[in-house]
Structure 1
Amino acid sequence: MSPTPRPAPLRPAPRTTVRASHLRGGLTAALALPLLAACVANTPTGAATGAAGDGGPITVSSSADACDVSTTSAPSGTLTFRVTNTGDDVTEFYLLGEDGLRVVSEVENIGPGISRDLVIQARPGDYFTACKPGMVGEGIRAAFTVTDSGAGTGPTGDVAEQLAAAEASYVAYVKDQVGTLVAGTQELADAYAAGDDARARELYAPTRVHWERVEPVAESFGDLDPLLDLREADLVDGDTWSGWHLIEKDLWQPTPEANGGAAYVPLTPEERVAAAQDLVANTQKLVDAVTDPSFTFEAFQITNGAKELLDEVATGKVTGEEEIWSHTDLWDFAANVDGARVAYEVVQDVVREQDPDLATQLDERFAALEQLLAQHGSVDAGFVGYDTLTEPQVRELAAAVDALSEPLSRLTTTVTSA
């Protein structure tokens, strides 16, 4: 019997389409974001400027075939978009740059009947709003303008100096992580291309830790995130699969039952080499981007990234969907928490001055979550397979993530009001 042919989208090849669900823009455009934002809980922020500039939110109604935004313009300053899913499928809302490609800010995984807020510190300019029912496709878009209110959009005085130091510290951290990442990726790629699967499996999870700690930075650079980290479940028509999870599946080859009923066809030696080279090349692009002299990551982006990392845990790691074949989700989980904690700690002094109760709450809940993770292993010593956890253990982890998520959702608002 001849082997089952592999579907074309699963072959490692140069990526020809942008992953629609990411809507990321080009590398150069991402280096200077005109908006700085964060997803927050479903409570009013109090400082937002609404459609009429009266302190209320800009309301967004997302359904299966519409994205109704209550206004097409707002004055610069702090804005709140309150997004309500009036459809029957999960949705997400984006604010895109003038080119319609670069993601300025986003709120994802809004279930039917649910509302979520997106708080943005906005500078004057032209943008696009976009709802994506089902979280696929290009979305339902409309032009959006931020007019000049004449008010500043950033901190001044001592706080500005504190945040400048925080930004420098965080950029140094990112550079250190991606430097370690590219070295580990090269070692893993060499082992995988040479057919040393045992060594490649050993290196897979510990190397990915350095990616997961700084993934929000990677997501700001065009299509690098889907090129490197796209899961098979997220492939859409026209996508060519590349990156970590293509290699993961080939290293932990699924049974037919776990592969949609079809026998898995291993990558050929030539395909392995191509996949390995592709992984290294795209990782090097990330290194080049963050080591470019013009690269910056502002304090508000840092705090936004902290919440984004915890959302990554809640929507992928806790569910066991990220590392579906290797079951190394706890390494990713711990790395996301590490990255979120570092992002918080670089602005911690400002938070303590502005809202000491919030700082105390964050300190306690980070510690509680990290202690819970430590029951299952560590990045250095290794973790148990995620598939070995019991349902009560998974629920306990999920509850700890939820407990941290609420105060973390207030981090950017606290920093932007400093």
Structure 2
Amino acid sequence: MPRAGLRRLRSPRVWGPGGAVVVAGAITAAALAAGAGPDAAATADGLPHTTVEVSPGDCGRGWRHPRPGTQVFDLRNTSSGAAEVYLRGADGGPVYGEVEGIGPGTTRQLRVRLGPGAYAFTCLPDDANATTGPTVRVAGSGAAGPAAAPLTQHDLIAPALDYQKWVAGGLDDLVHRTDALRAALTAGDLPAARTAWLPAHLAYERLGAAYGAFGDADEKINGTTAGLPGGVHDPGFTGFHRVEYGLWHGESAAGLRAPAGALADAVRALRDDWAQARVDPAALGLRAHEILENTAQFELTGRTDYGSGSNLATARANLDGTRAVLARLHPLLTTRYPELPSLERELTRTERLLDGFHRDGGWQPLGDLTRPDRERTNAAVGDLVERLASVATLCDPRRTV
């Protein structure tokens, strides 16, 4: 499937139910139960508001009347540069909420639910060291909202290196399978080429979190006709989908030898160059989310079907790719994401759902699904995309200095 270089909008953010991140102000105030103190402004949302200063010298100043419950902090940047802000448990405790990109002279809102305990704001100006404001103690009763211990880039290095080794093994398998595809077309055996195409393509799709490190090779290997003026006849249409189109639209083996050869050569070059490539540790959690986000956008809409009818097989391979990333992140998530067991159960349930479309040695085309099956599939993948958004956020490295 095409990789669109999707970027998450990260601010303002708070930890929502189950560790999910919710845009501040997007939740209704129906369940509100907190009285306003002397420093709380009257607001349309019915929540107590507290104005807090964001600056290297006065980080957190203004929080004079701490209270438990759901509330909004109006973060006012009085410095001359942009800044990021965390609300954490005191003494380097877990993060309860954060806002990025607060420009100078700008006020942004952070909505959180606080319980009894000690808290402090940490201000992280661009191009300057972090500063932590005074510790504020909240009395009363009630439970605090979800929080998570922050991860640093250093925490993610070992998972990224392990994943990179796993990808190297996958590329060896991919080379073997694309060579088999090329050999079938060289021999003029179109049925064998059709049989070889799907296992080769799925081997590539399982490497989903590595596409950011593949660079231009991804477009050569798995590009589509998107943006090509000549469509399927454009010279820039190459790779798996170019061969797929020819195999299922009556092209001759002789006509497909060159595209299959170029595909196999591109795969081999990627494998040979992989030792010098680097998976970005900071992007690992985000990639876990993007794999299935792209699955929902491209595979479950049929936008990448060039004749093989294999979108559901690709979606199933994308689940394998997601599993591979989560396996490397598992030690970091077990203490940070309480919904991890539920996520893994839903992954298993969705795998079984998709496996049910693999019958008699073939995969049911997306267009042949009944409406209930289509709805179940879309709902299952959509649910996973939402859950994996929390993984992306929890694995987003945070500055500590």
The TM-score with structure 1 as length reference comes to: 0.59
Match of residue 245 from structure 2: 249
1:342: Cα distance to partner?
Answer: 1.5
1:350: Cα distance to partner?
Answer: 1.1
Q: Does 1:406 align with 2:386?
A: yes
Give 3-state SS (helix, strand or coil) of 1:220's partner.
Answer: helix
1:169: Cα distance to partner?
Answer: 2.1
1:203: Cα distance to partner?
Answer: 1.0
Please, which runs of 5 or more residues in structure 2 have no aligned partner? Answer: 16-20, 25-53, 60-72, 76-80, 87-97, 102-124, 132-149
1:76: Cα distance to partner?
Answer: 7.6
Separation (CA, whole Å) in 1 of partners of 2:11 and 2:372: 27
Q: Does 1:179 align with 2:158?
A: no
Amino acid at match of 1:148: D
Q: Does 1:328 align with 2:321?
A: no
Separation (CA, whole Å) in 1 of partners of 2:74 and 2:202: 40
Q: Does 1:276 align with 2:245?
A: no
Separation (CA, whole Å) in 1 of partners of 2:382 and 2:279: 26
Q: Percent identity?
A: 23
Q: Does 1:375 align with 2:356?
A: yes
Q: Which of 39, 44, 49 is the equivalent residue of 2:13?
A: 44
Q: Which of 271, 275, 288 is the equivalent residue of 1:306?
A: 288
**Given the superposition, is the C-alpha separation of residues 197 and 45 from structure 1 closer, same or farther in structure 2, using an over 3 Å criterion?**
farther
Q: Does 1:348 align with 2:327?
A: no
Matches within 5 A, 1:195-206: 195-206=188-199
Contact 1:75 1:148 in 2 (8 A): no
Match of residue 148 from structure 1: 127
Residues 307-362 of structure 1 deviation map (CA, whole Å, 9 limit, x = unaligned): 11101210111112222311011221111111012211211121110122x21231
Give 3-state SS (helix, strand or coil) of 2:279's partner.
Answer: coil
Contact 1:212 1:335 in 2 (8 A): yes
Match of residue 120 from structure 2: none
Matches within 5 A, 1:1-400: 39=8, 44-45=13-14, 74-75=82-83, 147-151=126-130, 155=151, 160=154, 163-236=156-229, 240-253=236-249, 266=251, 269=254, 271-292=255-276, 295-356=277-338, 358-377=339-358, 382-400=362-380
Contact 1:167 1:297 in 2 (8 A): yes
Larger Rg: 2
Q: Which deviates more, 227-236 or 362-371?
A: 227-236
Give 3-state SS (helix, strand or coil) of 1:409's partner.
Answer: helix
Contact 2:12 2:100 in 1 (8 A): no
Contact 1:300 1:412 in 2 (8 A): no
Separation (CA, whole Å) in 1 of partners of 2:99 and 2:213: 16
1:267: Cα distance to partner?
Answer: 5.6
**Given the superposition, is the C-alpha separation of residues 313 and 160 from structure 1 closer, same or farther in structure 2, using an over 3 Å criterion?**
same
1:164: Cα distance to partner?
Answer: 3.4
Amino acid at match of 1:392: P
**Given the superposition, is the C-alpha separation of residues 360 and 207 from structure 1 closer, same or farther in structure 2, using an over 3 Å criterion?**
same
Amino acid at match of 1:313: T
1:45: Cα distance to partner?
Answer: 4.0
1:274: Cα distance to partner?
Answer: 1.7
Separation (CA, whole Å) in 2 of partners of 1:40 and 1:188: 40
Separation (CA, whole Å) in 2 of partners of 1:386 and 1:171: 32
Amino acid at match of 1:149: A
Amino acid at match of 1:172: K
Q: For the aligned residues, what is the CA RMSD?
A: 3.9
Match of residue 83 from structure 1: none
Contact 2:286 2:393 in 1 (8 A): no
Amino acid at match of 1:405: V
Separation (CA, whole Å) in 1 of partners of 2:99 and 2:163: 21
Separation (CA, whole Å) in 1 of partners of 2:388 and 2:269: 30
Please, which runs of 5 or more residues in structure 1 have no aligned partner? Answer: 1-20, 25-36, 58-72, 79-118, 123-145, 255-265
Separation (CA, whole Å) in 2 of partners of 1:277 and 1:367: 37
Separation (CA, whole Å) in 1 of partners of 2:394 and 2:347: 18
1:192: Cα distance to partner?
Answer: 1.9
Contact 2:285 2:396 in 1 (8 A): no
Amino acid at match of 1:402: G
Contact 2:220 2:239 in 1 (8 A): yes
Amino acid at match of 1:404: L
- Which structure has more relative contact order (CA 8 Å, sep 6+)? It is 1
Separation (CA, whole Å) in 1 of partners of 2:323 and 2:201: 18
1:209: Cα distance to partner?
Answer: 1.1
1:38: Cα distance to partner?
Answer: 5.8
Match of residue 108 from structure 2: none
**Given the superposition, is the C-alpha separation of residues 253 and 280 from structure 1 closer, same or farther in structure 2, using an over 3 Å criterion?**
same
Separation (CA, whole Å) in 1 of partners of 2:324 and 2:266: 25
Give 3-state SS (helix, strand or coil) of 1:410's partner.
Answer: helix
Paired residues, number: 287
Give 3-state SS (helix, strand or coil) of 1:416's partner.
Answer: coil
Amino acid at match of 2:319: V
**Given the superposition, is the C-alpha separation of residues 39 and 382 from structure 1 closer, same or farther in structure 2, using an over 3 Å criterion?**
farther
**Given the superposition, is the C-alpha separation of residues 399 and 43 from structure 1 closer, same or farther in structure 2, using an over 3 Å criterion?**
farther
Contact 1:38 1:412 in 2 (8 A): no
**Given the superposition, is the C-alpha separation of residues 329 and 120 from structure 1 closer, same or farther in structure 2, using an over 3 Å criterion?**
farther
